[in-house]
């Protein structure tokens, strides 16, 4: 575990961010509107569940099917806290149940979940905390029922030959469905608020007589497609998408939509694909980066009507004619390395063992959030977001010199992930679940302070583990200063073992320092010996008259008369010595500098 952490935390990338601080870089300014559309990510749950392998089990575990032909039937009010496994040939039936299920449901082998005339409540505390994971030949059938996910997005992943069917269902929240493997089957019929369906490379996906659907089309390597999506606002009476269409090849899945309203069109575009979209309104475009390639991208922008535009990514052809794209999102996968700069995207989420470095960009939340999952690493630097920060799996998310703005936005670390908040502002402190760890390092000091003052440096220097604990623990912090252009860091406070959360890190006495630009450095260390450092610039200037008494310990100004009981010197603004001595001196009106006991005091005599 320690080797994994040391190997994957990108000190070099943070060092590059620190160098940008010294060169004057800042967080891009973005306007924020209540009308910003925030959709949860269809990718985080989909791939995180399939490949992450980091399920954190808590509470009581219910297993149905560990005995042959086992059936559990629930009616009336019932609650369960913890995961539920329906395995082998087990059958879990909810018949007229008012069920509260505080955990994930795994349906494996030939297991079945059947719910009829029931209310299913999943009390989630963040997006995709719970969901169905249906694999092998497992099956879930929900009829004449209602669901509620506590205001957060729920996930359903259907793998291999598994099936999920819902009929006459009212979903009281957003659901993400994802197909994966050889022959998944997903069907929604007479369903209120279907949610979104993420098609896999194979399988069949059917929606009939329903409403509110974001339908993601998969464009895998080697495929070609020329497509015009039906109108965004109309009822779609009959729509199919598969390789029987003359303008499509290399597609191994089939989609059928019949008599459904409120449809939004999504695309997931992989490398080596050739796709042209014309005369369409496209809600979301997810750009997948696979393999082990390293790519740099820039200038990708949400919310634009493109007359003729080819997305500037060299390993695929994606072209829009007379089409509007509401959202682009970035998804590095496998072991891909992606550097994104100067982009406006809806979501930025690395998956598997990939690395994403997104800088000088804006994540508006229209496609999900800024996050990390599985074993990936995401470094966001000098980037604004108006959405959630969320890490999961065994991933690392670093939010450096960036800002979470807007009105709503969670900060959540779950499973065994590590979240690093480095000199960044967030709407709330990290909420840490399971075996995750939040590592927070922030300097909150004024951008300007007078020479000679004792400056109280506030901030954060702490680490917090989830309720299941972590292999990481906070160890200590140290605070240093350095004048711009120097190479030596001077300690202010070192090896402080008491963590600080929105408190005083140290008091910096600036007596005897020269005016100019300085940098503060906060170094925080964890139990493995790993450390991170963050910088903040501060300008130490000369003092106003209103500050002089405190700073000079007795310098007095009355009109154009200056008095000090000890020896002091007075200079013109150009640096010419006007007076050096003790006691009282009368000067002409104007601006002066006084040197008193190693301090420089600015005076304006009237």
User: Over 50: is that where the pLDDT of 540 sits?
Assistant: yes
- Whether 13 shows a pLDDT value over 50: the answer reads yes
Residue 142 has pLDDT above 50, yes or no: yes
DSSP 316-377: SEEEEEEEEE--EEEEE-TT-EEEEES-EESEE---TT-EEEEES-EE-SSS--EEE-TT-E
| pLDDT per position as a tens digit, 374-404 | 899 999 999 999 999 999 999 999 999 999 9
Q: Residue 5: is its pLDDT beyond 70?
A: no
pLDDT for the residue numbered 364: 93
Rg (CA), the chain: 30
What is the per-residue pLDDT for 20?
A: 65
Number of Cβ atoms within 10 Å of the Cβ of 581 = 12
Beta-bridge partner residues of 534 = 522
Contact 409, 430 (CB under 8 A): no
Provide DSSP, 68-133. Answer: TT-EEEEEEEEEEES-EEE-TT-EEEEEEEEEEEES-EEE-TT-EEEEES-EEE---SSTTSSEEE
User: What is the per-residue pLDDT for 34?
Assistant: 31
Is the predicted pLDDT of residue 32 greater than 50, yes or no?
A: no
Each residue's pLDDT tens digit, 579-599: 888 888 988 887 777 787 666
Higher-confidence residue of 59 and 496: namely: 496
Question: Average pLDDT, stretch 36-50?
Answer: 44
- Mean pLDDT taken over the chain: 87
The yes-or-no verdict on residue 11 having pLDDT over 70 is: no
Would you place residue 565 in the very low, low, confident or very high pLDDT band (cuts 50, 70, 90)?
Answer: confident
The CA distances from residue 576 to 91, 164, 294, 396, 580, in Å, are 92, 85, 59, 56, 11
Q: Decide: 338 and 330 in contact? Cβ < 8 Å.
A: yes
Count, residues in the chain: 606
Q: Summarize pLDDT for 444-485 with one digit per residue, the tens.
A: 988 888 888 889 999 999 999 999 999 999 999 999 999 988
What letters, b where the CB count within 10 A reaches 16 and e where it falls short, cover 174-192? bbbbbbbbebbbbbbbbbe
Confidence band of 194 (pLDDT split at 50, 70, 90):
very high
- In angstroms, the CA 455 to CA 473 distance is 29
The share of the chain scoring above pLDDT 70, in percent, equals 87
Q: Per-residue pLDDT for 38 more than 60? A: no
DSSP bridge partners of 400: 381, 422
Q: What is the mean pLDDT of residues 405-415?
A: 88
Cα separation of 606 and 604, whole Å? 7
Longest dimension (CA), the chain: 103
Helix (H) or strand (E) holding 441: strand 437-444
Q: Is the pLDDT of residue 7 over 60?
A: no
- How many C-beta atoms surround the C-beta of residue 33 within 10 A? 11
Q: Which residue has the higher pLDDT, 112 or 595?
A: 112
Q: What is the pLDDT of residue 542?
A: 64
pTM reported for the whole predicted model = 0.77
Quote the CA–CA distance of 69 and 96 in Å, as a whole number: 22
Buried b / exposed e across 114-131, counting CB within 10 Å, b at 16+?
bbbebbbbbbbebbbbbb
Residue range 27-55: mean pLDDT, rounded: 42
pLDDT, position 50? 42
Report whether 202 contacts 177 (CB < 8 A). no
Residue 1 has pLDDT above 70, yes or no: no
For range 241-252, the mean pLDDT: 95
C-alpha dist (Å) from residue 27 to 19, 24, 275, 387, 420:
14, 10, 35, 16, 17
486 confidence band (pLDDT: 50, 70, 90): confident
Predicted local distance difference test score (pLDDT) of residue 51: 37
Return phi, psi of residue 70, to 5°: -80, 135
pLDDT of 3 reads 28
Residue 530 has what pLDDT? Answer: 87
Read off the tokens for 478. Answer: 């140290």
User: Pick the residue with more confidence: 485 or 8?
Assistant: 485
Both structure tokens of 171: 């979903």
User: Which of 256-260, 266-270, 290-294, 314-318 shows the lowest per-residue confidence on average (mean pLDDT)?
Assistant: 290-294
Q: Which two tokens stand for residue 507?
A: 């008091």
Listed residue (292, 310, 302, 393) closest to 347, CA to CA: 302
Distance in angstroms (rounded) separating the CA atoms of residues 169 and 393: 31
Give the model confidence (pLDDT) of 428-447 as tens digits: 999 999 999 999 999 998 88
Report how far Cα 365 is from the mean position of its chain's Cα atoms. Answer: 9
pLDDT reading at 134 higher than 90 = yes
User: Which pLDDT band, with edges at 50, 70 and 90, does 573 fall under?
Assistant: low
Residue 288, sorted as left (phi over 0), alpha (psi -120 to 50) or beta, turns out to be beta
Judge whether residue 73 has pLDDT over 60: yes
């Amino acid at each position: 575990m320690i080797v994994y952490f040391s190997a994957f935390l990108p000190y070099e990338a943070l060092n590059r961010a620190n160098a940008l601080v010294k060169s004057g870089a800042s967080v891009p300014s973005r306007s924020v509107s209540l009308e910003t559309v925030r959709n949860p990510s269809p990718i985080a749950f989909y791939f995180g569940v399939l490949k992450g392998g980091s399920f954190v089990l808590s509470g009581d575990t219910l297993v149905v099917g560990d005995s042959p032909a086992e059936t559990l039937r629930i009616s009336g009010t019932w609650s369960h806290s913890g995961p539920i496994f329906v395995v082998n040939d087990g059958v879990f039936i909810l018949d007229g149940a008012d069920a509260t299920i505080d955990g994930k449901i795994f349906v494996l082998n030939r297991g079945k979940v059947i719910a009829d005339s029931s209310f299913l409540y999943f009390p989630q505390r963040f997006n995709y905390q719970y969901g169905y994971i249906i694999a092998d030949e497992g099956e879930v059938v929900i009829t004449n029922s209602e669901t509620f996910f506590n205001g957060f997005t729920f996930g359903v992943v259907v793998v291999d030959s598994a099936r999920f069917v819902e009929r006459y269902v009212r979903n009281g929240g957003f659901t993400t469905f994802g197909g994966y493997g050889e022959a998944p089957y997903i069907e929604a019929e007479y369903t209120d608020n279907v949610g979104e369906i993420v098609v896999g490379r194979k399988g069949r996906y059917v929606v009939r007589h329903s409403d509110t659907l974001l339908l993601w089309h998969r464009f895998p390597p080697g495929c070609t497609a020329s497509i015009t999506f039906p109108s965004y606002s109309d009822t779609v009476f009959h729509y199919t998408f598969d390789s029987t269409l003359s303008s499509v090849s290399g597609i191994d899945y089939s989609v059928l939509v019949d008599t459904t309203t409120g449809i939004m069109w999504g695309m997931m575009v992989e490398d080596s694909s050739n796709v042209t979209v014309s005369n369409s309104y496209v809600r979301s475009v997810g750009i997948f980066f696979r393999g082990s390639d390293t790519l740099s991208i820039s200038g990708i922008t949400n919310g634009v009507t493109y007359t003729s535009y080819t997305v500037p990514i060299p390993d695929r052809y994606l072209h829009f004619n007379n089409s509007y794209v509401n959202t682009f999102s970035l998804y590095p996968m496998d072991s891909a390395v992606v550097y994104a700069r100067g982009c406006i995207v809806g979501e930025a989420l690395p998956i598997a063992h990939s690395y994403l470095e997104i800088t000088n960009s804006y994540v508006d939340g229209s496609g999900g959030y800024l996050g990390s999952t599985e074993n990936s690493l995401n470094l966001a630097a000098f980037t604004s977001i108006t959405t959630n920060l969320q890490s999961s799996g065994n991933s690392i998310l670093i939010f450096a010199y960036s800002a979470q703005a807007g009105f709503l936005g969670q900060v959540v670390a779950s499973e065994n992930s590590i979240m690093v908040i480095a000199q960044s502002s967030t709407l709330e402190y990290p909420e840490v679940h399971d075996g995750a760890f939040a590592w927070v390092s922030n300097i909150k000091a004024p951008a300007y302070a007078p020479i000679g003052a004792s400056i109280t440096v506030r901030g954060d220097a702490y680490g917090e583990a989830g309720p299941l604990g972590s292999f990481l623990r906070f160890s200590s912090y140290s605070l240093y200063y350095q004048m711009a252009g120097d190479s030596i860091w001077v300690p202010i406070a070192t090896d402080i073992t008491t963590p600080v959360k929105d408190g005083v890190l140290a008091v910096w006495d600036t007596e005897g320092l020269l005016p100019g630009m300085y940098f503060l450095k906060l170094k925080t260390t964890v139990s493995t010996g790993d450390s991170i450092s963050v910088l903040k610039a501060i300008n130490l200037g000369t003092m106003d008259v209103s500050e002089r008494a405190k700073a000079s310990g007795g310098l007095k100004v009355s009109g154009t008369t200056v008095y000090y009981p000890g020896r002091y010197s007075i200079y013109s603004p150009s640096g010419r010595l006007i007076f050096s001595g003790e006691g009282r001196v009368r000067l002409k009106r104007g601006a002066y500098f006084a040197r008193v006991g190693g301090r420089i005091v600015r005076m304006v005599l009237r």
